[in-house]
Structure 1
Amino acid sequence: MPPFQELAVFALALIAAGAVAGLLAGLFGVGGGAILVPVFYQVYGLFGVPEAVRTHVAVGTSLAIIVPTSIRSFHAHWKRGAVDMDILRNWTIWVPLGTICAPVIAAYIAGRELRIIFAVLSLLIAIRMFLNRQHWRLGDDVPKGVANTAAGFGIGLFSGLMGIGGGVMSNLWMTLFGKTVHQSVATSSGVGVLISIPGLIGYIWAGWGASGLPPFSTGFVNWITVALVMPLTLYVAPYGVRLAHSLSRRQLEIGFGLFLTAVSIRFFVSLS
């Protein structure tokens, strides 16, 4: 049994991770998995969960928490009239389909190259946000039809391949085509719902019957962790939404630029 002091430290880490994830969900329309997964990984290691399944359980459990957090964040943004429902309706099938296809395609694509592409792209968009270069975009409006459908599939696919929430990539896509950062963040919260639900189902299915799972797990989802962390993320998410809409466009651009820089650094570090 782990020492009490270590249990206390990791309990505080879970609380902090849940709060930050909820805030990010509301503020930037992202899931917060980049915060939750590393913390869960360390906690499960403390309790002796085997390395073979530890990362899988961390990711699956993170997705379980992101589902209701994304829904709450999306609803709060939707009530403010900031969500572009036309984009989401077009992506309703294609983003989840891309997410479902990711595990199959991952067997044939080197993850290192994908992380390099994503890290560089995130950094370039962060620079654009910092320098306020609004002419650094591909068009004045998000394309319709096949192009936007392909983008939705690609967002789901790349997010599934790299183990990230779709909010970052959908934000990048929409801001490159002239959407304001407020509207991009709001719409991305809905993308998190489209990715997290099929992702959660996939991790339950993939881990069904696996050995070494922690107690009270269904597949790669541990419900004890969900019960401990989810209430805080749900509580904090609306405050992130409120903060996002209280900031000016420039302030939100700077904040999102800093977030993208942190994401880019994380992927570059993972390459070493």
Structure 2
Amino acid sequence: MSIAATTSREITLQLATGRSKDRTTGSLIFLGLLWFSLFFGVMVLLALIISTAIKGATRFDSELITNYTSIVRPETAGFRAGILGSLWLMVFTALFAVPLGIAAALYLEEFANPDRALNRFVEVNLQNLAAVPSIVYGLLAVAVMALIGFQDAGIVLGGALALALLILPVIIITTREAVRAVPRDIRQGSLALGATVWQTTWRQTLPAAVPGIATGTILGLSRAIGEAAPLVVVGLAGSVLFDPQGMMSAITALPMQIYSLTSQSREELQQAASAAIIVLLVMILGLNALAIYIRNKFQRSW
């Protein structure tokens, strides 16, 4: 084997494995800074979580979930209305955003003509919308609610609409990536057997992309469940003393209650807010764990 072939093979191996024998001082310093940044970020996060858990440790009881928020008896204040409100919001957010997001992604990826100016305009704006601050979606939801005749947007419908607008670009982008990951051979084989483009998409492409779609959708919902900024703009109350009764019912959400209680000066309410932060964190981690399980359980190797 020639020297040139050996050198080419070594370079290819280095690029494939990410390893290189060239250990210069600059590269080592840069690598050390990267590891320090990762270590520092993780340590700060752990410190915040541990300090919050210690502060709210005295309130990890059943009353935290079964009771309503009470200023009169702060030692027994709970977050029943906020937890139920968050669950209601997640259900209707999924009903609004998931079907529309999947349908839009399938159209853009399988049916739309990428050379048309309108489709290019939509694709560019999808990338931009994913980075828009969440409070903007709250303003948009208020405008939509006023347009369809609702003067008070602080209801289940208004909150779910704001969160659906928030995660819709994320669902579209992740669904397109999942559909794009399905090999073209599957589509071509289906078309060669006489199936239409719609039949191929519905019976072959979409089922093969379900793990990626489910993962992206759950991660989008886990982002929405922790959002407070769009709900503040929509006008959800910080304290509600009843369970949601329907789409037109006034509600609160767990992030809203946490935001409201952290501004209180009484120590008991501060402890309750710290315990609620851990509850919210457990809910978010649970959704993320479900997404990881679905990805690992149903992921296919092509």
Computing the radius of gyration over CA atoms, which structure comes out larger, 1 or 2? Answer: 2
Per the normalisation by structure 2, the TM-score is 0.28
Larger relative CO (CA 8 A, sep 6+): 1 or 2?
Answer: 1
